[in-house]
Structure 1
C-alpha cells in the first residue's frame, strides 16, 4: 500500500509539474503573440493612421496652413517613433524578465518536486498544485502589469498624440481661414473706400479743372476783346488824322484812351456790355472807311460797324439794311431790296450821317444824342423830331410809345425794334464808358410796363401756355428786352430760387442790409422762412428806402418801396452791367 501511495504521490507531482510547464508555455506564447500584435498595430498606425490623417487634414488647406500641419505631423511622427522605440525596449525587457521568470520556475519546479518526494506527505500534491497555480497567476499578473500595459500605452499614446496634433492643426487651419477671410473683407472694404475717395478726388479735380478752364477761357476772351477794342480805337484815330481836322483828332484820341481803359479795366468780358463785331463785318472795314471819309464822318467808323453788326452781322447783299431808307434810288424799297453790298454800305453811311445831324450829335462820345440818332436810324427820321418835341430826347419808354403808336396807325403787329439802341451799343467800343449804362436801360424797360395786368405778354413769352406766377417772368422779359440775357448778364428764370442760386453761384449776391444799386434784382421772403416768394427790379435806393418796379404785384406791374434791411427782403442779385 505504501508503494502504491508513493507512486501516486510521484505521479501526482509529475502531473502538477506538467501543468506548471504548460502554463509557462502558454504565458510565453501569449507574450510572443501580444508582442507581434503590438508591433503590427504600431506599424499600421505609423504607416496608415497617422499619415492618412495628416494627408487628409492637409488636403484642402492653404500652403501656409499645410506647412503648419506638416510641422505638427512631423512632431507627431517623431513622438510616435520615440514611443515605439520605448515599447520595443520595454518588450525586450519584458522578454528578458519572462525568460528569467521561466528559469526560476524551472528551478523552483525541480526544487519543489524534490521537497515533495522527501516529505512523502498527502498534502504535497495539493500544495504543489496551489503553488504552481500561484506561480502561473504571478506570471500572468507580471506579464499584464509589465507587457500588456506598456504595449497598450505604446499603442494608445502615439495615436492619442497624433489625434491631438491633428485636432490642433484643424483648429489652427480653421482659425487661419477665418483670419484670412476677415483680412480679405478688410482689404475689400479698404479697397472700396479707397476707390470712393479716389472717385471723389477725381470729381473734385475735374471740377477744379473745369473752373480753371472757364477762368482761363474768360481771361483769354477778355484779353482778345481788349486788344480788339484798342485796335478799333487806333484805327479810328488813324482815320481821323488822315481825314484832317484837329478837333476830330482830339476827340478820337480821348476815345482811344478811354476805350482802351474800359476794355482793359472795365471788364472786357461778355458781362462788360461790349461784344466785338464779327469777322464778316471787319472784312467791310475798308469800304466803310471809304464812304465814312467820303461823307464827312470818318470818326464814326466804329459806330457804322456796330450798326452793320446789329442789322445783318455783315451777311447778305444788303448788310446795312438800307433798302427802305431815303438814299436808296436803285433798288426796291423793301427789306433786303438792295443786291449790292457796296451800294448798301454807301446808302447806310448816308442814312446814319443824316440821323447824327438830326439828333445833334457832336462827337463819337456824345452818347445821349447818339442814342437818339440810332433809334431814328431804325424807326426813321420822324422819331427824332417827335422825341425832341415831346420828351427832349431819347428814352426807352418813348421809343416804346412811338413804336406802339406807329404799329396801331399802320395796322401792324409791331413797328421797329424798341431795343435797337442797347442792341447796337453792345458792339460800340465806347458805349459802356460814355453812357448811363444798362442798369438804367433795364429800369426804363420796366417802367414802360407799369399798369400791365395779368402778365400774359411775359409768361407767354417765357413759354408757358397758361397763367403762372409771373414776377420772375417779368424780370426775365425786361432783361431780354435790354439784351442782357443774350450777353449772360442776367439769367432767364421763372422760379425765384433759380435766380437766387445763379447770382450766388456767380458771387454777385448781397444780403438784405446792403444798399442796392439801380438795376439790382431784388428777392423777397414774405414769411421770413427761407422760401423765396417774389422778385423785382430796384429802380433806385435813397434816403434809407429801396424803390422797386415789380411784376405780378397784385397781378399788375407796380412801383413799390421798402426800408433798407426790411425783414421781407431776402437779398439782392447784382448784375455786372
Structure 2
C-alpha cells in the first residue's frame, strides 16, 4: 500500500513537471512570436532613400506628396490594427506568466506533499516489517520449533532488507523528482526573466526610435510641438505626417538633398547666394579680360555649363564621396569652395588678340551730288574670348563615377525636375512672376553668354530675345507653350498677337509680362514703324513707372525703367501662366 502511495506521489510530481514544461514552451513560442512581430514592425527596407527617390521623382514631387500621404494613411490604419493585436498577445503572455506562477506554487506544494508521503511510506514500511517479523517469528516458533525459528528469522531479515532497499529507492526517486521540479521551475523563471528583459529592450528601442524621430522632425519643422501634442492626444494621422517628414529627412541626406539647398540653413548662406557669388566671379573674369586688352572688335564664342548640370555633378560627387560623404542640403564656406572648384573644372575661359589689316570703303559726296568711294587700309585688333565647358559625361569620366552615381546624375537632370532647379537657383515656385526672379538672377551677365549659345548660335548675336527665351525655358514655360522660343522680336510679337494675348503699349502692365520696344526714330517723338526692335521682361510697376529686366542692354543684363505709356513701348505679350 505504501509503495502505491509513493508511486502515485511520484506520478503527481512528474505531471506537475510536465505542466511546467508545457507552460515554458508556451512562453517561448509567445516570445518568438513577439520578437518576429517586433522585427517585422521595425523593418526599414521599404523606407530606403533610393527606392523613395526613384519612385517619387518618377511621378513628380507634387504627386509624391499626395500619394505618399494616402499610402501612409492606409499604413497607419494597418499599424493601429497590428498594435492592437500585439497588445492582446502581450496580455495573453501576462496571463500565461501568472498561470505559470500558480503552477510553480502548486509544484512546490506537490513537492512538499511528495516529501511527506515518502516519509510516511518509510515509517509505514518499517512498522509493517517489524510487525510481520514479530508475528511470523512467534507463530513459527510455536509450530515448528527452534530449527524452523532460525529459518524464519533469516526470512525476516531478508524481508527487512528488501523493504529497506525499496524505501531507499523511493527516497531517491522522490529526491530526483524534487530536483527535476526545481530545475524546471528555475528554467521557467529564467524564461520569464528573459521575456521581461526582451520586453524592456523593445520598449527601450521604441523610445530611442521616438527620440530619433523627434530630433529629425525638430530639424525640419518648427511646429513639432503641435505634432507631438496630436500624438499624445491619440492622433495617429500626425504619426503619418512624421513618417513622411522622416522620409523627407532621408532624402535630404541623399544626393536629392540638393533640391532643399535653396534656403538658408542658419549659416547665412544658401545655394542661391553661392551661385550668385560664382556668377559674379565668372563675369569679373570676362571683364578683366576685356579691360586688360586694347581692341577694336570683340568676338565671343562658346558657352558655359548650365547650372543644373554643375549642381548635379556637385551633388553626386560630394554626397557619394567614399572618403568624405557630405549632405548637400545646406551651404557653408567649405561646400561653397567645393562648388567653385567643380564649376571651374567644368568651365574655362580663354582669350587672344589678333591684328588684321582690312580694306575699308567709305562713301563721300564730291559736292556735285556724286558719291565717291574711297578705299582705306586699316589695322584692327580683334579680341577673341572663348568660353568652353565639359559635359556631364566628361565629368563622370574625370571623377570615375560608378554606375550608381551615373544613375543619380540621370535622375537629377530629368526635365521634369526643372521647376525644382528653379526653386534651388532662384528661390521661386510656379507663379506669375517666376520668370522675373530668374531674370533678376542674371543681372550683370555680359556678352549674352550662355543665352545665345543655348539658343543654338555659334557666336554672339543680338541676344535680347534669346535672353527672354532662356529665362522662359528655365521656368519650363517653353515646353508648356506659355512663352515661345524666339530670337527675333518681330516673331515674338506675332506669336502673342496670333493667340489674342497682346496688349497695347499705352496700357499698364503687370509683373511677368513680356515688353516689346520699337526704337525707330529713337530720341524723338515721331511715329514708330510698328516693328519691334527690342524685348525684355516686366519686373514690376510702381507709381506709374514700369521696371524691366532686359538682356543685351549695353551688352549686359540690366534693370531699366520707363513711364507707363512711353512712346518706345510697342506693347506687351501676356503669357497665360
TM-score by shorter chain over 0.5: no
Place the TM-score, normalised by the shorter chain, in its bin.
0.3 to 0.5
Structure with bigger helix share is 1
Structure with bigger strand share is 2
Q: TM-score, normalised by structure 1?
A: 0.34
**Greater relative CO, 1 or 2 (CA 8 Å, sep 6+):** 2
The structure that has the greater radius of gyration is 1
